[in-house]
Amino acid sequence: MTVLDLRNVSIDFPTSKGVVHAVTDVSLSVGKGRRVGFIGESGSGKTTTALSAMRMLASPGFVAGGEILLNSLEKPNLLDLSDDDMRQVRLSRISYIPQGAMNSLNPVMRIAHQIWDGIVAHEGALPQGDLQSRSDAALAGVGLDPEVVGDLYPHELSGGMKQRVCIAIGVCLNPDLIIADEPTSALDVITQRHVMQTLRDVQSEIGAGLILIGHDMGLMAQSVDEIAVLKKGQLVEFGPVRQIIERPEHPYTKELISSVPLVGGKSFLEPAGEETATGFRSENGEPLLELRQVSKHYGAVTALHPMNFTLDGEVPKIISIVGQSGSGKSTLGSLMLGFNAPSTGEVRFKGRDINRQSGAEALSFRKEVQAVFQDPYACFNPFYRVNHALKYPFERFGLSEGPDHTQTAMVEACRAVGLAPETVLGRYPHQLSGGQRQRLIVARALMLSPKLLIADEPVSMVDASLRATILKNIHDLKDRHGISILYITHDLATAFHVSDYVMVLYKGHIVEAGPPKDVIGDPEHAYTQLLIASIPWPDLDRDWGSSKDARQGLEALDRLDGHETIMRGNIPGFELVQG
Partner 1 sequence: MGRIPLSYLTNRVFTLFLTVFVAATLIWIIPRLSPIDPIDVMLGRMAAGGGTIENSEAILQQLRESFGLDQPLIVQYFLYIVNSFTLDFGLSTASFPTPVSSMIGYALPWTLGLMFISLIITFVIGNLLGALMVWEHTPRLWKVAIPAAMVFTSIPPILSGLLLMYVFSTQLRWLPLSGPYGLNVEPGWTFAFINSVLYHGFLPAMSIVVVTFGFWALGMRGLMITVQGEDYTTLAKAKGLKPRYILYRYMIRNAILPQITAFALKIGLLVAGQVLVERIFAYPGMGKLLYDAILTQDYPVIQGVSFVIILMTAIAVFLVDLIYPLIDPRIRHGG
- By CB under 8 A, name the binding residues for partner 1: 54, 56, 59, 87-92, 95-96, 98-100, 102-109, 117-118, 121-122, 153, 155, 166, 169
In the complex, least distance from residue 275 CB atom to partner 1, rounded to whole angstroms: 47
* Sign of the C-alpha dihedral computed for residues 549, 551, 554 and 558 taken in this order: negative
In the complex, least distance from residue 338 CB atom to partner 1, rounded to whole angstroms: 28
In the complex, least distance from residue 15 CB atom to partner 1, rounded to whole angstroms: 18
**Cβ-based nearer residue to partner 1, 266 or 430:** 430
Burial class (CB in 10 A: 0-12, 13-18, 19+), 291: buried
**Cβ-based nearer residue to partner 1, 175 or 429:** 175
**Cβ-based nearer residue to partner 1, 119 or 217:** 119
How far is residue 352's CA from residue 338's CA, in Å, rounded to a whole number?
12
Q: Residue 479 in contact with residue 473, Cβ under 8 Å? A: no
In the complex, least distance from residue 34 CB atom to partner 1, rounded to whole angstroms: 21
Given strand 18-31, what is the order of strands in its sheet?
Answer: 18-31, 2-15, 62-70
* Sign of the C-alpha dihedral computed for residues 427, 429, 430 and 431 taken in this order: positive
How far is residue 142's CA from residue 166's CA, in Å, rounded to a whole number?
10
Q: Which among 189, 191, 263 is positioned nearest to 522, based on CA atoms? A: 263
In the complex, least distance from residue 84 CB atom to partner 1, rounded to whole angstroms: 9
Q: Residue 214 in contact with residue 37, Cβ under 8 Å? A: yes
Three-state DSSP class for 201?
Answer: helix
How far is residue 530's CA from residue 526's CA, in Å, rounded to a whole number?
6
**Cβ-based nearer residue to partner 1, 134 or 231:** 134
In the complex, least distance from residue 58 CB atom to partner 1, rounded to whole angstroms: 9
Secondary element (H or E) of residue 370: strand 369-372
In the complex, least distance from residue 184 CB atom to partner 1, rounded to whole angstroms: 15
Helices (H), 448-515: 464-481, 492-498
**Cβ-based nearer residue to partner 1, 108 or 360:** 108
**Cβ-based nearer residue to partner 1, 103 or 431:** 103
Residue 407 sits at the vertex; the CA angle it makes with 377 and 469, to the nearest 5 degrees, is 45
For the chain, the 3-state helix, strand and coil shares in percent, each to the nearest 5, are 40, 25, 35
Q: How many CB atoms lie within 10 A of CB 262?
A: 17
Q: Which among 18, 172, 6, 9 is positioned nearest to 93, based on CA atoms? A: 172
In the complex, least distance from residue 50 CB atom to partner 1, rounded to whole angstroms: 11
In the complex, least distance from residue 298 CB atom to partner 1, rounded to whole angstroms: 14
**Cβ-based nearer residue to partner 1, 96 or 268:** 96
In the complex, least distance from residue 97 CB atom to partner 1, rounded to whole angstroms: 9
DSSP 288-317: SEEEEEEEEEETTEEEEEEEEEEE--SS--
**Cβ-based nearer residue to partner 1, 169 or 228:** 169
**Cβ-based nearer residue to partner 1, 138 or 190:** 138
Q: Residue 354 in contact with residue 365, Cβ under 8 Å? A: yes
Q: Residue 162 in contact with residue 102, Cβ under 8 Å? A: yes
Secondary element (H or E) of residue 503: strand 501-506
**Cβ-based nearer residue to partner 1, 95 or 295:** 95
In the complex, least distance from residue 100 CB atom to partner 1, rounded to whole angstroms: 4
**Cβ-based nearer residue to partner 1, 99 or 259:** 99
**Cβ-based nearer residue to partner 1, 134 or 317:** 134
Q: Residue 60 in contact with residue 13, Cβ under 8 Å? A: yes
In whole angstroms, how far apart are CA 502 and each of 237, 276, 304, 533, 563? 38, 22, 17, 17, 17
In the complex, least distance from residue 121 CB atom to partner 1, rounded to whole angstroms: 5
